[in-house]
Amino acid sequence: GEPKQGGVLRMYHRDSPANASILEGATYSVNVPFMGVFNNLVIYDQHIAQNSPDTLRPELAESWSWGNDNKKLTFKLRQGVKWHDGKPFTSADVKCTFDLLMGKSQQKLRQNPRKAWYSEVNEITTSGDFEVSFDLKRPQPSLLAMLASGYTPIYPCHVSPADMRTHPIGTGPFKFVEFKANESIKLTRNPDYWKKGLPHLDGIEYTIITNRSTAILAFVAGKFDMTFPTHITIPLLKDIKSQAPNATCVVEPTNVSTNIIVNSASAPFDNIDIRRAVALALDRKAFVDILFEGQADIGGTMLPPPQGIWGMPKDKLETITGYGPNVNANREEARKLMQKAGYGPDKHLAVKVSTRNIAEYRDPAVILIDQLKSIYIDGELDVVETANWFPKVARKDYMLGLNLTGNSVDDPDQSFYENYSCGSERNYTNYCNKEIEKLFDVQSQQIDVAKRKELVWDIDKKLQEDVARPIIFHARAGSCWQPYVKGVTIMSNSSYNGFRYEDLWLDK
Amino acid sequence: MSEVLLEVTDLRKYYPVRAGVLRRQVGTVHSVDGVSFSVGAGETLGLVGESGCGKSTVARSVLRLVEPTSGRIRLDGEDITHLSKTALRPHRRSMQIVFQDPFASLNPRMTAGDIVGEPLLVHGLASGKDLEARVAKLFEQVGLRSDQMRNFPHQFSGGQRQRICIARALALEPRLIVCDEPVSALDVSIQAQVINLLIDLQREHGFSYLFIAHDLAVVAHISHRVAVMYLGRIVEIADKDELFRDPRHPYTQALLASVPIANPLAKKLAPLVDGDVPSPVNPPPGCAFHTRCRFAMDRCKTERPVLMDAGDGHQVACLLNEGTGRSQLAPTT
Amino acid sequence: MAAIDFDVELRRAGAHATGGWRRVLFLAQRHVLGAAGLVIMALFVLTAIFADVIARYDPLTIDSTRALARPSLAHWMGTDSFGRDVFSRIIHGARISLAVGIGSTALGGTIGVIVGLTSGYLSGWVDLVFQRVSDVLQALPLLVLALVMTAALGPSLPNVIIAIAIPLIPTVARVIRANTLALRELPFIEAAKSIGMSEVRIALRHVLPNTLAPLIVLATAQLGSTILTEASLSFLGLGIPEPYPSWGRMLSESAAEYVRTAPWLVIFPGIAISLAVFGANLFGDALRDILDPRQRG
Amino acid sequence: MADKSDLVLDVKNLKTVFFTNSGLFKAVDDLSFTVKRGETLAIVGESGCGKSVTALSLMRLVPDPPGRIVGGSISLEGTDLLALNEAEMRAVRGNRISMIFQEPMTSLNPVMRIGDQIVEAVRLHRNIPAKEARNIAVEMLRLVRIPEPARRAKEYPHQLSGGMRQRAMIAMALACRPALLIADEPTTALDVTIQAQILALILDLQKELGTGLVLITHDLGVVAQTAQRVIVMYAGRKVEEASVEALFAAPKHPYTRGLMASIPAVPVPGIAAPARLNEIPGTVPSLVRLPKGCAFAPRCKLAIKRCEAEYPPLADWGSGHLAACWRAEEVAEVA
Amino acid sequence: MFAYLVRRLFLMLVTLFGISIVIFLLLRIVPGNIVDILFAAAGYVDPADKANLEKELGIDQPLIVQYWHWISGFLRGDFGYSYVSEKPALQEILPRIPITARLAGLALLFSASIGIPLGVISAVKQGTRLDYALRVVSLSGLSLPSFWLGLLILTASVAMFGQMPIFNPNPQTWLEAFTTYAVPAAAVGFRSAALTMRITRSSMLEVLRQDYIRTARAKGASDAAVNYRHALKNAILPVITVIGIEAAFLIGGLIVTETVFNIPGVARFLVEAIRWRDYPIVQNLVMLIAVVVVSANFIVDMLYAVFDPRIRYTD
Ligand SMILES: Nc1ncnc2c1ncn2[C@@H]1O[C@H](COP(=O)(O)OP(=O)(O)OP(=O)(O)O)[C@@H](O)[C@H]1O
Ligand SMILES: Nc1ncnc2c1ncn2[C@@H]1O[C@H](COP(=O)(O)OP(=O)(O)OP(=O)(O)O)[C@@H](O)[C@H]1O
Ligand SMILES: [Mg+2]
Ligand SMILES: [Mg+2]
């Protein structure tokens, strides 16, 4: 029916984000509650589950155009938009935002996790208050995808990054009210929102509940209108469905891949045979069965189709070593490789499997250890506290690691450069292949989507065969809401981009 | 008496009473306040007095289990008052102590044999088979069976436990044994056994005893001489027979009169003193007994009488005994 | 006033149970609860020792085909989300939980005894320092201390044991110190002094053995609480790491998510913890009654 | 035997047992005795022979568990105390029958003022206003010769010396003028000079109030100086009973005999004390493992086969002198 | 008495000083700091950014300087700023205190109002079935992990009533306000009630063995008078001490309970702050807790003096 106006949406939040600044954040714990405070230049259509170049919509930009051999991207900006504190929004704000992201401004972000996204941007120029252009070093069609991410809100010039962490000011449908660490986050309707008639909600209240069982109990007991998006594991989904049969639940990929990082810098994994053997030993289906009751995806670096746009088709995937359906044959081969490296039934290889002390990391690591037993590897779990995980990885103080890689947009540039280019901070394994690196650039500049896909598949296959960072699976997760909550769309190939919530409404 | 074994001169032991943040001393317990006496070889000196008058403190000081505040203790002519722990060790062999509560005096987790053998072990006098043999002999001496060596203290009766204590004291073949109320905790029928044992051992080995008790009859039975203490001081000291025949100090008289005689035909109880013993923290000035004394004069409140000879080695600290050397007071009754 | 058949009563009251097994049996009758506690503890210890024999499955082997099976004849306590047999994990968990309980109690107890004995026996400034340190440790919430310790040391079996043992030290030391102070006044210590024994020897030979009884009582009581502390730590994600099946780990936050879909995952480890702690407490109680001379009768 | 109406207390075949960790035993076994108005009955015996348990049994205060009265009757002024229910017994306790305990140091409630504790005793049995009870309390304190009774009434027990505490206990016990007073070793913890004061006080007050007195002690001297009649207990049983003169003149039980001989006497000038004391060999038996026959037999010089097999009954050896010994007649000669 | 007070206060300060050093050092021993954690989500740590941030927060300074900054601030009541939220630490801590205080207070109230009477009953009826039953119940109270109990309570209440007592900062009805606190307080309180009961029982047994209890009975006092007027008055002191000490342990129980029931109190906040290495929060909060615990013990000691005329504090 017609959307109804009013009502406060009650949700729980899975944990307490460090602060409210999306630009400094790198977890959807920040995006979910604060995306509604802001607008982007462009955004993925909030009602289409699959983000793709076709679903890009203008937001603060009214339109965009490519020029200068696809090396210049110009946005025409919306007029009459006001920041929550009443100041007018202009092109200067856009320039400020990206200068901040590129590290060019006076003010600095405390941390800037996505600086690399703008490595091909020369400079931002404004022309008048309502036009702004990105000058690129080379064509990069993916730039738009990154600008459309929930991670790329436009910040005001007149508020310091520090204030944005504690009291964010945006142009979006909801105004920030308060954030009590470990307790709650409150947003209220922006009555002056430039989209007339929106948002429908009077506000959103997040109660922070870190204990998942408590959170779900509370949802079932009707304390919340909606769960935290993609927070429900598959086994728990059944529970919710049986306890609250009226609730609407969907399961979608999160575009987070679970993968193995291998320390190839030192023994024993400096031996490619052993690395291959590990890749061959994986029974990906078993992971998916145990952790997701079959409901997760097997693929390469890119999220597999149909939800993923760039993932390899199944037939191509299965040509990759280790992805074949016959696990036993694979393991047989793996054992041969191990024996070649000098291990066997009498001489096991003792390995520490490091991972973070979070269930999403720990559980697959436990399975991994179990599976490695089949190829003469005795794994021991080494759980590492959050604070020590990346320093440890950076020090190369591990043998095998179990890692999760979240992809904020379903886009090869984001994924390849971040994780596999030589010298990238998040290329934990220091995998470096100059040839592939060249291929990254080739695909990045390819405007034709179909052709680009072919390139991407080849790269992806090669990455897997190099055992750069063996991908185990792409997770899926459930989200649920009460039947009277209308207008929710859970993105199917990203978990960072779909929380504007401006046209959610409550049918009460 | 023959040669003097133990000589205590003007012994004092004060305990500080502390209070406050800095645990400043706010008072002094005059536990022992100038005590002098001597014990001859083979002699038993009895020490009686009310509870808290400082008898145990004297005993402990003599053995240097507490450090005396002042005074001098000479054992066999040698001054041991200020000897260091190591220098004292050889002298420890010459004097031993037996305590009132035999059960508390025995480590409940050691066998009787180990307890008795321990002094020999510590002083390196015996070990192995030899030790066992000597312990067995000690057991025999005090009237215990040597097969009881492996038993634990709780498996013995009170009297037997006190025998173990005595055996332990005998192990080092001391010359002086200090007995701090060794029979007070025992049953009357057992008490006699222990007293007899002590007497027998003295006859055999010629020990000296400093024998402390609050029971006048027991003290009288075992001692050659008796000293009477009141509030940290010796008020009278004399040969046993002399003391009982002719008690000079009003306190001694009261003490004697208060002992109930086990004979229904004998005189009835007649308490000679009133009131309670004053606190040793603030002992009364002058004669400490004047608060309860029937004969107290004004002088008693200010003047402190010293022990004075009243003939025949009979010494009394009472102003009434001045000059004459003889008490003018015949004990009533 | 019921008439009493003396012979029957005498036998029932164990008048003839003077030594050895008879006496043990007699005490067991008198302290039924304590005997029950002892039996529970013994069962757990045996379970831990013979875990390999008792457990019907490997506690670590993952089997996707039988995940989250309800309790059945094949899996008495069902399986967890990895398809691991819960019963086997609890059996093996006894090993780890008891290792933590006994290990940290022993460690904390030993250090506590040394500290308590030293400070009680030496008094003076050693004692003063100890008292202040133990004040400090006791004013910090125990779990917070353990939390910070495991965070500092990293979660592993020995580290968890250490983290739990440290807060235990002042508790033990206080008891031992108080006992030492009391013992120091006893005549048998004076007797030892009077034969010329050195202080150290007196402390070790006379004082120490006599603090054993209160120590044992304290230790059994603490055993239970250390097991609980480990469980709390694991619940907060800081206890023994996966895949080792410590009971606390089995009950941890992620397992708790199954409280309604697979309650056996939550119920059985909880029962195991409670039962073990209960057993230790029952036994400790009875022990206190038996060892406390004043309670005789 | 005296006129029935004259009897304050008549105990018959009292039996009290204990169930303990080390076993069950009879702490008091088949004990019978009587107390007349104004009479002092002494109970003597060694530590652990059941004197205190007897006293507690009379008050029906045996700690249960582990103890229990399992037989006999206790008749106080004609009422059988064992037949009363607890509420009725409470009305008797502290009112008709009172008790003074062994330990004056611990027998007073440390957190209550002395006066209040006496007031409580009075008001439990007499329905009078607090003020009046307070006056009685001060009066009682004066009666037991506590100086400045009004001030002392407001003090706590720890502020009093041992002798004064025992006086306060006596004041409390006599506050309701009971028919029977039980004094369980009232002076053992005190010094001889204080002991003499307290004993004299108790006897004075007893005379004044006509109370029957059961005086428990292990000190034969005290017995000789205070009692009219004496009961000697050994291992839970009465082994001898006689008037004080008869007992001291000619004990009929070897144990009594031995006891008297083993106590050192204050030397009487002129009479040389015996060098050695007479001792009773052996040790007091544990109540848990009593021999089948006479409990004293293992220590007795006169013991014969029969003693080990059969417990000798209490027999009257003339003018109410009872003794439980097969060879009572020979006792005087042998010792 | 006054001297004793001063001495106790002095010792309290020494203890608090020790605690401040211990917690300060412990936190620095724990590997990783706020910067590592803030950057963790980004998946990498930029050394330059890290250095900048450490400088900004002052954690690059020598320990002595850091300690001095903190402790002098603490004494002035200036708690600094939370590293995470960048708000004044005091402002973060203060609003949470009443929540935990209410919870703890209620738990202690449960503990005392259930534990003491049951302990008395159990002691008075020593050896009876009732005593056995009460002892078993109290031991099980000590044996159940409180988070487990909490979880079962939550699950059961959803299953049975379709409702759960989850924390609500602005309760609408009286009932809601009550359940908000009462249910979790009961979950923690069960344990401490059990403990209180045990202490009461053994303390009562100890007192009931005393001679003066026998004296009271010999006066003809009724059981109730003996048990309450004479015994409990003497037995209550150790119980008070234990309840005082229990205050410190309660925090531990509250951590898990606040987690399970999702109560935004200081206990859970503390754990979160430790996880984040939010030094200003952890240090100041631990100090506040320590002040409360130490004062509780102090007050207990004072109560001792009030209740027990024998204690004159001369030593
Ligand atoms: N360590 C000590 N500190 C302080 N005061 C002490 C100490 N030892 C003894 N006193 C005091 O010294 C006085 C004498 O004590 P002592 O034990 O010598 O008396 P006693 O005559 O042996 O008494 P009892 O007959 O009770 O054994 C008492 O008032 C006692 O309180
Ligand atoms: N509460 C109790 N529990 C167990 N046994 C007890 C209890 N009270 C007394 N007994 C035992 O009962 C027996 C008689 O004790 P009772 O106290 O009557 O002796 P007593 O003659 O008064 O000795 P004493 O002269 O030492 O006071 C003893 O063996 C004692 O151990
Ligand atoms: Mg003494
Ligand atoms: Mg007695």
DSSP for B10-60, written as a single string = EEEEEEEEEETTTTEEEEEEEEEEEEEEEEETT-EEEEEE-TTSSHHHHHH
| Domain co-membership, D68 together with D210 | yes
| N- to C-terminal Cα separation, chain B | 33
* Cα(A257)–Cα(E43) distance, integer angstroms: 14
* Cα(E126)–Cα(D127) distance, integer angstroms: 33
Ligand 1 atom at minimal distance to the Cα of residue B55: 21
A342's CB contacts (< 8 A; 6+ apart) are: none
Tell me if C67 is assigned to some domain.
Answer: no
Distance from CA of C143 to the nearest CA of E (A): 5
| Domain co-membership, D92 together with D193 | yes
Please answer yes or no on whether C81 and A212 come within 8 Å at the CB atom. no
Tell me if C99 is assigned to some domain.
Answer: yes
| Domain co-membership, D18 together with D53 | yes
CA C101 remoteness from chain centre: 5
SS3 A472: strand
- Sign for the CA dihedral angle at B259, B261, B262, B264 comes to negative
Indicate the pTM of the whole model.
0.81
Which residues of C fall below an 8 Å CB-CB distance to A?
A: 60-62, 64-65, 67-68, 81-83, 151, 154-155, 237-238, 241-243, 253-254, 256-262
Q: pLDDT band at E176, cuts 50/70/90? A: confident
Q: pLDDT band at E224, cuts 50/70/90? A: confident
Residue pair A229/A26 in contact (Cβ under 8 Å)? The answer is: no
* CB count in 10 Å sphere of residue D243: 16
Rounded to 5°, angle at Cα E222 from E219 and E224 = 135
Domain count for chain D, please give it: 2
Which range (D143-157, E127-141, E161-175) has the least confidence?
E161-175
Residue where a domain stops, chosen among D263, D288, D321: D263
- Residue E303: the pLDDT is 74
**What's the gap in Å between D143 CA and the centre of ligand 4?**
27
- Residue D270: the pLDDT is 58
User: For the complex shown, is ipTM > 0.90?
Assistant: no
Tell me if D278 is assigned to some domain.
Answer: no
* Cα(A289)–Cα(E268) distance, integer angstroms: 35
Q: pLDDT band at B327, cuts 50/70/90? A: very low
Query: What's the domain range around C125?
Result: 39-58+78-292
Nearest CA in chain C to B166: C191
Structure tokens of A242?
């049986």
| N- to C-terminal Cα separation, chain E | 11
φ/ψ bin of D323: left (φ > 0), alpha (ψ from -120 to 50), beta (otherwise)? beta
* Cα(A488)–Cα(A200) distance, integer angstroms: 12
- Residue B211: the pLDDT is 94
Question: If you average pLDDT over residues D283-308, what whole number do you get?
Answer: 84
Q: pLDDT band at B18, cuts 50/70/90? A: low
Ligand 2 atom at minimal distance to the Cα of residue D66: 3
- Residue B2: the pLDDT is 62
List, as ranges, residues 159-198 from B with C-beta within 8 Å of D. Answer: 159-160, 187-193, 195-196
> Above pLDDT 90, what percent of chain D?
24
The model's pLDDT over B33-77, given as tens digits with 9 standing for 90+, comes to 889 999 999 899 999 988 888 899 999 999 998 889 999 999 988
Residue pair A283/A396 in contact (Cβ under 8 Å)? The answer is: no
Q: Is pLDDT of D1 > 50?
A: no
Residues of chain C below pLDDT 50: 1-4, 15, 294-297
Tell me if D212 is assigned to some domain.
Answer: yes
Which range (A304-313, B234-243, C58-67, E246-255) has the least confidence?
E246-255
The H or E element containing residue A207 is strand A203-208
**What's the gap in Å between D51 CA and the centre of ligand 4?**
6
- Residue C5: the pLDDT is 53
Please tell me which residue, C18 or A170, carries the higher pLDDT value.
A170
* Cα(C170)–Cα(C116) distance, integer angstroms: 8
The verdict on whether omega for the bond into residue B278 sits within 30 degrees of 0, i.e. cis, is no
Touch criterion met for C and E (3+ Cβ pairs within 8 Å): yes
Tell me if C200 is assigned to some domain.
Answer: yes
Torsion of CA D265, D269, D273, D279, to 10 degrees: -10
Please tell me which residue, B270 or C118, carries the higher pLDDT value.
C118
Rounded to 5°, angle at Cα A332 from A327 and A333 = 100
* CB count in 10 Å sphere of residue E309: 16
SS3 A340: helix
* Cα(D329)–Cα(D326) distance, integer angstroms: 8
Domain boundary assignment for chain B = 4-321
Tell me if D196 is assigned to some domain.
Answer: yes
Residue pair C246/C167 in contact (Cβ under 8 Å)? The answer is: no
**What's the gap in Å between B276 CA and the centre of ligand 3?**
18
List, as ranges, residues 138-177 from C with C-beta within 8 Å of B. Answer: none
Please answer yes or no on whether C155 and A357 come within 8 Å at the CB atom. yes
Tell me if D128 is assigned to some domain.
Answer: yes
Residue pair A470/A462 in contact (Cβ under 8 Å)? The answer is: no
Touch criterion met for D and C (3+ Cβ pairs within 8 Å): yes
CATH superfamily to which B4-321 belongs: P-loop containing nucleotide triphosphate hydrolases (3.40.50.300)
| Domain co-membership, D117 together with D130 | yes
Question: If you average pLDDT over residues D203-217, what whole number do you get?
Answer: 90
- Residue B325: the pLDDT is 42
A–E CB contacts, 8 A cutoff, strictly below:
125
Rounded to 5°, angle at Cα E146 from E144 and E151 = 105
Burial class (CB in 10 A: 0-12, 13-18, 19+), B80: buried
Domains of chain E: 1-90 (no CATH), 96-312 (1.10.3720.10)
Residue where a domain stops, chosen among D263, D298, D327: D263
| Domain co-membership, D195 together with D258 | yes
A–C CB contacts, 8 A cutoff, strictly below:
76
Ligand 2 atom at minimal distance to the Cα of residue D102: 27
Query: What's the domain range around D59?
Result: 1-96+178-263
Q: pLDDT band at D56, cuts 50/70/90? A: very high
**What's the gap in Å between D235 CA and the centre of ligand 2?**
10
- Residue D4: the pLDDT is 57
B146's CB contacts (< 8 A; 6+ apart) are: B135, B136, B139, B140
Distance from CA of E180 to the nearest CA of A (A): 13
Neighboring chains of A (3 or more beta-carbon pairs < 8 A): C, E
* C123 reaches E (C-beta below 8 A): no
CATH number at residue C205: 1.10.3720.10
Question: If you average pLDDT over residues E209-213, what whole number do you get?
Answer: 86
Interface test with D, best of B157, B186, B187, B242 (most D CBs within 10 A): B187
Residue pair C289/C31 in contact (Cβ under 8 Å)? The answer is: yes
Domain count for chain C, please give it: 1
Burial class (CB in 10 A: 0-12, 13-18, 19+), A361: buried
Please answer yes or no on whether D193 and B273 come within 8 Å at the CB atom. yes
Q: pLDDT band at A36, cuts 50/70/90? A: very high
| Domain co-membership, D91 together with D212 | yes
* B261 reaches D (C-beta below 8 A): yes
* Cα(C52)–Cα(D199) distance, integer angstroms: 75
Rg (CA), chain D: 21
Q: Strand order of the sheet with strand A248-262?
A: A377-384, A349-356, A400-406, A248-262, A471-481
| Domain co-membership, D167 together with D73 | no
Q: pLDDT band at B1, cuts 50/70/90? A: very low
- Sign for the CA dihedral angle at E217, E219, E221, E226 comes to negative
| Domain co-membership, D6 together with D150 | no
* Cα(A505)–Cα(B218) distance, integer angstroms: 103
The model's pLDDT over A181-228, given as tens digits with 9 standing for 90+, comes to 888 999 999 999 998 888 999 999 999 988 888 888 889 888 899 999
DSSP for B202-243, written as a single string = HHHH--EEEEE-S-HHHHHHH-SEEEEEETTEEEEEEEHHHH
Distance from CA of D126 to the nearest CA of B (A): 32
* Cα(D38)–Cα(D211) distance, integer angstroms: 5
Q: Is pLDDT of A351 > 60?
A: yes
**What's the gap in Å between B32 CA and the centre of ligand 1?**
9
- Chain B residue numbers with beta carbons less than 8 Å from the beta carbon of E6 are 21
Going by alpha carbons, the residue nearest to atom 6 of ligand 1 is: B15
The model's pLDDT over D69-90, given as tens digits with 9 standing for 90+, comes to 888 899 998 889 988 888 898 8
Residue B278 Cβ inside 6 Å of ligand 1? The answer reads no
| Domain co-membership, D161 together with D186 | no
Tell me if C94 is assigned to some domain.
Answer: yes
Amino acid (1-letter code) at residue D158? H
The model's pLDDT over C114-155, given as tens digits with 9 standing for 90+, comes to 988 888 877 778 888 888 888 888 777 777 777 787 777 777
Question: If you average pLDDT over residues A261-269, what whole number do you get?
Answer: 85
Q: How many helices (H) and strands (E) does chain D have?
A: 12, 12
CATH number at residue D243: 3.40.50.300
Please answer yes or no on whether B96 and C206 come within 8 Å at the CB atom. no
Torsion of CA A420, A426, A432, A434, to 10 degrees: 60
Ligand nearest to the CA of D58: 2
| Domain co-membership, D62 together with D3 | yes
Question: If you average pLDDT over residues D18-28, what whole number do you get?
Answer: 79
C–E CB contacts, 8 A cutoff, strictly below:
137
Residues forming beta bridges with residue B12, ordered by sequence position: B33, B70
Residue given tokens 């740590």 in the structure block = E45
DSSP for B92-161, written as a single string = HTTEEEE-S-TTTTS-TTS-HHHHHHHHHHHTTS--HHHHHHHHHHHHHHTT--GGGGGS-GGGS-HHHH
B100's CB contacts (< 8 A; 6+ apart) are: B180, B181, B182, B184, B185, C187
Encode burial over B111-147: b for 16+ CB neighbours within 10 A, e otherwise.
bbbbbbbbbbbbbebbeeeebeebbbebbebbbbeee
Q: Strand order of the sheet with strand D315-316?
A: D97-100, D180-184, D212-216, D40-44, D229-234, D237-243, D322-323, D315-316
Please tell me which residue, A359 or A490, carries the higher pLDDT value.
A490
Q: Is pLDDT of A426 > 90?
A: no
The model's pLDDT over E140-165, given as tens digits with 9 standing for 90+, comes to 888 888 888 888 888 888 888 777 77
Q: Is pLDDT of E315 > 50?
A: no
* D65 reaches E (C-beta below 8 A): yes
* D262 reaches B (C-beta below 8 A): yes
Q: Is pLDDT of A420 > 70?
A: yes
Question: If you average pLDDT over residues A52-71, what whole number do you get?
Answer: 89
Tell me if C29 is assigned to some domain.
Answer: no
Distance from CA of D83 to the nearest CA of B (A): 36
